[in-house]
Amino acid sequence: MINTESILQRPISFLKGVGPTKGELLKQELGIHTNGDLLYHFPFRYIDKTKFYTIRDLNEESGEVQLKGILRRLEMIGEGAKRRLVGTFRDETGVLELVWFKGAQYLQKQLSIGGEYIVYGRINMFNHQFNIPHPEMDLVTPENTTLAETFAPVYPSTEKLNNKGADVKNRRKLLKTLLAQLTEADLPENLPTYVVQKLRLGTRFQALQWIHFPNDEQQLRVAQNRLKFEELFFLQLRLLQLKRQRKDSVKGYVFEKVGDYFNEFFTTKLPFSLTNAQKRVIKEIRRDLALGIQMNRLLQGDVGSGKTIVALMIMLIAIDNTFQSCLMAPTEILAQQHYLSIKEYVKDMGIEVAFLAGSIKGKKREEILKRLKSGEIHILIGTHALLEDPVEYHHLGLAVTDEQHRFGVEQRAKLWRKSLPCPPHVLVMTATPIPRTLAMTLYGDLDVSVIDELPPGRKEIKTLHKTDNYRPQVIGFMKEEIAKGRQVYVVYPLIEESEKMDLQNLEQGHEALSIDFPAPQYQISIVHGRMKAIDKELEMRRFVEGESQLMVATTVIEVGVNVPNASVMVIENTERFGLSQLHQLRGRVGRGAAQSYCILMSSFKLSKESKERIQTMCRTNNGFEIAEADLRLRGPGNIEGTQQSGIIQLRLADLSKDEAILKTAREIAQQIIEADTALMAPEHRCLKIHLEELYQKNKGWSRIS
């Protein structure tokens, strides 16, 4: 028996048919360094090679077809860029043209006139005749007749690979060579027998054979199911193991009592009744704070659901237990808004609230730092300046971060150093609803609380879709709202690749609005990412304080501007925004008592996906429903935040389609971790070994949280 380690860990260049040049190319283009990398480089689709067509059967709807016949003629036609290779292909029912625009000279040498070929490709109509551009060609030999009995895998490729003889066809051959060398003993089972039997998963060896070369759809389904489960299961197992290890080893401050500050605020200061969802979340957090384990909790809630009041009430529990709290926000203006609203909520309660950001300098800064260290300041609110070295707390017990600013390793270490002997409890707030599957993957090591209810009396934002020919009516409506004393946002897209063009759009939009809303009767603020921070702050402040009636901006206002007086959000070029981004932008209005509106402007011509996005926005205000639709439409790789979050790239599983598999994987992982956290039981030895292998391959796993 061949040793698995030596086969799967062997450099790819040693595999028969590869060699140093091709090996280097596979490394550079696809990250395939070893035979194991090749084995786990899965097809993204399959060609059904179980059926042959005849030329007489073909029609415009035939799509991808497989034919068997004789190559009768080959001819190079045209000059320069229009040069192409044209072949005449015949079976017993008719004649068909084959065309190649790239690699023509190479192919002319490779193909043999008069040879019998299996041809595969997509039918195309040109000059009232069928042809197949760039078909796959396989000379019929005794060895390759089996090709016509399987689903042929199609792998991701690049132009370089195709031009250097390492195309999809070549990779099929390499995988056949590799799989022929492996036996069942070479791929030891990495799941406990009882899990494989309970879920009827099939063996690992069988799954890896069938994922590349299934004989039919049934085999393909069995292979995909097994490998998707495996992928999601090990991800969940690692996340839950980290979570359990942290809970077992990282002690946290015990907040024993709910005292005078909390009770006074709840009975006499709370400006409105808490929703049932807010009460439930406060109970969940209070339970965490009494356990003596460091809390790491994600608080999800739609825009306007009342996350800040929940965070404040938890800070009051911290004060009741002689601890300080800090609240960090991504921008100075958002931090300032938190500071003003919290200061207002707790006035006359003897609670000291301070604000710290980069703009606070000199004696004022020194005074804040001194009072913080002595314990006079109970709550410190600001930007990431709160983590800087000179900032010393007297007794920090709770850190709240707003808008998905999750701690990186460095930030967490800085925070821990400011709170000895135990790290502070951490509450991460986000107004970006995260679909359940993503939350389980991105935040699998955090406890999650959800505020899924809006305060009573809040009016739902009316969302309307208008095309450019309705612009005069939209301008008229904006003027009516401004005449009532309201304010209006007009937002333009900003996509990095075309920043110049977008800026031009913004500037042209600003010019046009200046004609429709002339000074001095109207004042317009303008904000975009290329402005200096100080100018941006100034323009935002003008709008916040009501000096300007219109705010023309790019998506920099997506997070954090709270202007209760703004009642209209106009979004230009709506088709260029993602669903979650549109929902975030809509959440900038509807913060006051007045009826608010979101107007989605677009051109007439819309793709199917754009239409679906706009219809979803007009149909619902529910952020979680929107997040699920966004995941379905765009896939997890494109959901904002996932690229930077440390999420492991999934090879096969799709979070938008495989929720049922993920749920099962998480449930089983949870049962195993609860019963055997260190995976010491004999039946879990295979899990321990496989996790260690994965950990070696992906060092970032230890930092996923």
> From the first residue on, what is the mean pLDDT of each consecutive set of 10 residues in the chain (705 residues)?
65 92 92 93 85 87 88 87 88 92 80 89 85 88 61 86 84 93 89 95 94 91 96 90 84 92 93 91 95 90 86 97 92 84 92 92 93 96 87 94 62 76 89 72 78 79 93 96 94 63 72 92 88 83 91 71 87 88 86 89 88 92 80 60 48 84 93 93 94 71 39
Do residues 122 and 133 lie in contact, with contact meaning Cβ atoms separated by under 8 Å?
yes
**C-alpha distances in angstroms, 126 versus 96, 122, 123, 132?**
11, 13, 10, 10
Query: What pLDDT, on the 0 to 100 scale, is given for residue 289?
Result: 94
315 and 241, same domain (yes or no) = no
350 occurs within a structural domain: yes
Do residues 353 and 346 lie in contact, with contact meaning Cβ atoms separated by under 8 Å?
yes
665 burial type by CB count under 10 A (0-12 exposed, 13-18 middle, 19+ buried): buried
Q: Which domain-ending residue is among 402, 422, 451?
A: 451
Angstrom distance (rounded) from CA 305 to CA 590? 12
345 occurs within a structural domain: yes
Identify any residues that bridge with 647 across adjacent strands, giving them in sequence order.
none
Query: What pLDDT, on the 0 to 100 scale, is given for residue 151?
Result: 79
Q: Which domain-ending residue is among 397, 432, 451?
A: 451
112 and 228, same domain (yes or no) = no
631 occurs within a structural domain: no
199 occurs within a structural domain: no
Sequence-distant (6+) residues with CB within 8 A of 533 are none
485 and 593, same domain (yes or no) = yes
Q: Output the six-digit token pair for 302.
A: 């739609």
613 and 476, same domain (yes or no) = yes
Query: What pLDDT, on the 0 to 100 scale, is given for residue 518?
Result: 93
538 and 601, same domain (yes or no) = yes
Angstrom distance (rounded) from CA 553 to CA 546? 16
643 occurs within a structural domain: no
Q: Residue 87 is part of which domain span?
A: 51-149
Helix, strand, or coil (residue 318): helix
Q: Output the six-digit token pair for 269.
A: 């200061």
Do residues 585 and 506 lie in contact, with contact meaning Cβ atoms separated by under 8 Å?
no
Query: What pLDDT, on the 0 to 100 scale, is given for residue 409?
Result: 56
467 and 534, same domain (yes or no) = yes
Query: What pLDDT, on the 0 to 100 scale, is given for residue 646?
Result: 41
**C-alpha distances in angstroms, 128 versus 60, 82, 92, 96?**
11, 20, 21, 12
Query: What CATH number is attached to the domain comprising 354?
Result: 3.40.50.300
Q: How many domains does the chain have?
A: 4
335 and 440, same domain (yes or no) = yes
598 and 517, same domain (yes or no) = yes
Q: Output the six-digit token pair for 183.
A: 């036996």
Pinpoint the alpha helices (H) of 213-329.
217-249, 260-264, 276-289, 307-320
Q: Which domain-ending residue is among 108, 132, 149?
A: 149
475 and 536, same domain (yes or no) = yes
Is pTM beyond 0.75 here?
A: no
615 and 668, same domain (yes or no) = no
678 occurs within a structural domain: yes
447 and 476, same domain (yes or no) = no
602 occurs within a structural domain: yes
195 occurs within a structural domain: no
371 and 498, same domain (yes or no) = no
Query: What CATH number is attached to the domain comprising 72?
Result: 2.40.50.140
**C-alpha distances in angstroms, 591 versus 307, 341, 544?**
14, 14, 13
